[in-house]
Chain A
Amino acid sequence: MIIAERKPMKELLEMVSNVRRLLVVGCRGCVAVCSAGGDKEVSILSAALRLGVKKAGGEIEIDQDTLVRQCDPEYIDPLNDRASKYDAVLSMACGVGVNFVADRCPDVNVLPALNTTFYGANLSSGEWKEMCAGCGACVLHLTGGLCPVARCAKSLSNGPCGGSQGGKCEINPDVDCVWQKIYDRLSGMDRKEELRQIMPIRDWTTSGHGGPRRRIREDLLP
Chain B
Amino acid sequence: MASAPMTEDNSYGAWKFCAWNGMIFMAVFMYFWGWLGHNLPPFAGDAPASEVAGYFRNHSDAVRLGMVTSMTFAVSYAVWGIAIGKVMDYAIGRGHILTDLQVWGAGLTVVPILVSSSFWLLGSYRPEALDDTTLQMIYDAAWLLIDLAYAVTSVQMFGLGFGFLRDKRAEPFFPKWVCWYSIWVGFMFIAECFMPFFKGGAFNRSGILNFWIEFSIFFAYAPIITWYTLKAIGRIRVENGD
- Do the two chains bind? no
Binding site for A on B (CB under 8 A): none
Residues of A within 8 A of B (CB): none
